[in-house]
Amino acid sequence: MDRLKDNWLTEGLIDFEYKKYQLLAYFKEVKSSFNRVELYPFLSDLVFHYRNLVSLKENHSLLRDSFPKELSQEGLKNLELNYKRMIEDDFLMQEIESIIEFALPQFKNSLDQGSYIYELIESKCEITPIGLTLTLCQ
C-alpha cells in the first residue's frame, strides 16, 4: 500500500476490521518512510485525511444533534427529563463512526511524528547565498 485514496473511508467494503487492517498497512508505510526521514508524500496526506475525519465527525455530531428528540417514558416514571433520539444511526453509520474513532488517534500519532521530524529538519536548515550578491546603495 502506498497512499490512501481520498475516499478510503467509504470506498469498497465498509467493515471495521477491513478498514482497520487497511489503515495499519498504511501507517506501517508511513512509519517506514518517517524512519528514513522522508516526509513527502505522507505528511501532507496525513494532514488531509486527519482534517477530513475531524470534519466528518463534527458534521455527523451536528447533524445527529439537530434531529428532534422525544421524552423517554422511563425518565418520566422516575420524575426525570431524559430525552432519546427519534432517529438512530443505521448499522452503516455506526460502522463508519467506529472506523473514525479508531483512525483519528492513529492519524494524530503519525501526524505528531511527522511534525516532529519536520520541525527538527527545519531547525537544522540554514540558507546562505551562493555566488554574487547585489547590494544596492543609495
54-92 pLDDT, tens digit each: 999 999 877 676 655 665 666 556 666 666 665 566 888
Count of domains observed in the chain? 1
Residue 108, domain member (yes or no):
yes
Contacts with 103 (C-beta within 8 Å, 6 or more apart), sequence order: 9, 19, 23, 49, 53
Q: Is the pTM of this model over 0.85?
A: no
User: Does residue 137 fall inside a structural domain?
Assistant: no
The grid cell for 19 is 478498514
Give residue-wise pLDDT tens across range 87-122: 566 888 889 999 999 999 999 999 999 999 999 999
Query: Does the pLDDT of residue 34 top 60, yes or no?
Result: yes
Q: In angstroms, rounded to a whole number, what is the distance separating the alpha carbons of residues 118 and 116?
A: 5
Mean pLDDT confidence for 27-38: 96
pLDDT at 30 over 90: yes
- Considering the domain boundaries, does residue 129 fall inside one? no
Q: What is the pLDDT of residue 129?
A: 81
Phi, psi (deg, nearest 5) at residue 127: -110, 125
In a domain, 134, yes or no: no
Can you give the residue range of the structural domain that contains 69?
A: 16-118
Q: Give the DSSP H/E element, type plus range, for residue 85.
A: strand 83-85
Residue located via cell numbers 501507517: 27
- What pLDDT shows up at residue 2? 78
Quickly count: other Cβ atoms within 10 Å of residue 53's Cβ. 19
